[in-house]
Amino acid sequence: MNTYLDCFPCFLRQAIEASKMVTDDAGVQRRVLNVVMEKMSTFPLTATPPEMARVIHQIIREVTESDDPYRLVKERSNEKALELYPKMKELVGTSGNPLLVSCKLATAGNSIDFGVPSSSFRDYHSLIESALSSPFKVDHFDEFVGCLSHASSVLYLGDNAGEIVFDRVFIEEMRSFKDIDVIFVVRGGPIINDATYEDARHVGMEKVAKIISNGCDYPGTVLRSCSKEVQELFQSEDIIIAKGQGNYESIDGSRRNLFHLFKVKCPVVATQLKVDVNDMVCVNRAGWGSQ
């Protein structure tokens, strides 16, 4: 997906918010903004939003001299989500369709995204309520179940800290539904509040999946920059689940049996999918073509 002019205000907002997380010095915050605005003037619109975001957050880290501005945010997100784990397991276990409920929970968990303006440490219980009451506005779940029924392996591209606890619940239900191997992919380095290897270990993901790094620090999956291992797995695994809007924006969607799960967070993506902002979607990209 190309970048649109509508994306630029969001880039600036991220720069301001991230710099404020690590310093109260208005001069440093202004320098971050100045450098980001200068760099944005050279951005090609043919690049994906995650490619641009990576450059912006590199600037933020360099100017503020902070290697991970969102470290505290990620730690708190993981802890608050882990508090909900028993409740989620209970809801899934007592539902009439555990796989669907766990899938919707994983998608609702995508709300934990500090790269968008609406995220905060709000009542995480509302995420569970929205998962149970909201339908997928693009609904390819039945197609996913059909693919899962014949699969032996799943490549699961993770997204944000905190959200990965919701992913763990979904993976546990997938493995109850079918005897499969799951590989859970995290970012290769800190970027916004995206999950890294340490985050995945912290929430116990190694109990249900093999955790690997994608080898790069884009807030999405820019396949050509990923490790050779991830590139090969992307072509060989039976099913790919890509969590989050950043993965939707950075993957071309031509791979068969590629399913995107996320909450739509901006008008540009909402227009592409013909849905509204904040809608939940379960999209098989191959059926829709490349964006």
pLDDT digits (tens, 9 = 90+) for 196-239: 999 999 999 999 999 999 999 999 999 999 999 999 999 999 99
Q: Are residues 59 and 109 in the same domain?
A: no
Contact 1, 248 (CB under 8 A): yes
Q: Is residue 31 part of a domain?
A: yes
pLDDT digits (tens, 9 = 90+) for 128-182: 887 788 899 999 999 999 999 999 999 999 999 999 999 999 999 999 999 999 9
Q: Are residues 60 and 85 in the same domain?
A: no
Tell me the average pLDDT of the chain. Answer: 91
Q: Are residues 165 and 129 in the same domain?
A: yes
> Three-state DSSP class for 37?
helix
Contact 193, 70 (CB under 8 A): yes
Q: Are residues 99 and 142 in the same domain?
A: yes
Residue 240 pLDDT > 50, yes or no? yes
Q: Are residues 180 and 284 in the same domain?
A: yes
Q: Are residues 146 and 242 in the same domain?
A: yes
Domain that includes residue 44, residue range: 5-64
User: So what's the pLDDT on residue 256?
Assistant: 76
Q: Is residue 83 part of a domain?
A: yes
Number of domains in the chain: 2
Residue 117 pLDDT > 70, yes or no? no
Answer with the one of 39, 64, 89 that is the final residue of a domain. Answer: 64
User: So what's the pLDDT on residue 288?
Assistant: 56
pTM to 2 decimal places: 0.92
Q: Is residue 160 part of a domain?
A: yes
Residue 254 pLDDT > 90, yes or no? no
- The better pLDDT of the pair 114, 280 is held by 280
Q: Are residues 123 and 85 in the same domain?
A: yes
Residue 88 pLDDT > 50, yes or no? yes
Residue 289 pLDDT > 50, yes or no? no
Q: Are residues 50 and 153 in the same domain?
A: no
Residue 118 pLDDT > 80, yes or no? no
Q: Are residues 174 and 93 in the same domain?
A: yes
Q: Is residue 69 part of a domain?
A: no
Burial of 7 (0-12, 13-18, 19+ CB in 10 A): buried
Read off the CATH number of the domain in which 103 is found.
3.40.50.10880
Q: Is residue 71 part of a domain?
A: no
Alpha-carbon distances of 21 from 64, 72, 202, rounded to whole Å: 10, 9, 22
Q: Rounded mean pLDDT of 177-197?
A: 96
Q: By percentage, how much of the chain surpasses pLDDT 90?
A: 83
Residue 121 pLDDT > 50, yes or no? no
Q: Is residue 257 part of a domain?
A: yes
Q: Is residue 181 part of a domain?
A: yes
Contact 145, 99 (CB under 8 A): yes
Answer with the one of 37, 64, 91 that is the final residue of a domain. Answer: 64
Q: Are residues 57 and 104 in the same domain?
A: no
Q: Are residues 15 and 38 in the same domain?
A: yes
Q: Is residue 70 part of a domain?
A: no
Report how far residue 86's alpha carbon sits from residue 90's, in angstroms, rounded to the nearest whole number: 6
Answer with the one of 64, 86, 107 that is the final residue of a domain. Answer: 64
pLDDT digits (tens, 9 = 90+) for 36-71: 999 999 999 999 999 999 999 999 999 999 999 999
Q: Are residues 49 and 179 in the same domain?
A: no
